[in-house]
Amino acid sequence: MANGLFSVFKSIGKVPLVRVVNSEISERVFKKLTALYKLHKDESPQQNKKQDRPLLIVLDRNTDLHTMLYHSWNYLSLI
């Protein structure tokens, strides 16, 4: 997954701001992505301004976002 994300951001020429949800899998993806950027640091384009950088949020599949989007947070809709 980290290799694919690295390829996408390398092809558009931007270094993303990465936000990670505290979980084992997303932390591993973040560490691998950071290692890839350190490995290819000499090939990176000029430093982008902070507002020009895309935001990458790495979530674990255990986070259930559909419930929050489709239903209100009360017991009746969850049942």
Residuewise pLDDT in 10s, the chain (79 residues): 889 999 999 998 888 888 887 788 888 989 999 999 999 876 655 555 556 888 888 877 776 666 666 666 666 655 6
pLDDT at 36: 92
Segments forming the whole domain that contains residue 68: 2-78
Coil, strand or helix at 15: coil
pLDDT at 42: 66
Query: How far apart, in whole angstroms, are the C-alpha atoms of residue 70 and residue 77?
Result: 10
pLDDT at 32: 93
pLDDT at 35: 93
| Helices (H), ranges, 1-79 | 2-12, 24-39, 66-70, 75-78
Residue of 53, 51, 58, 52 whose CA lies nearest to 22: 58
Number of folded domains that form the chain? 1
- Which residues have C-beta within 8 Å of that of residue 57, sequence separation ≥ 6? 18, 19, 20, 21
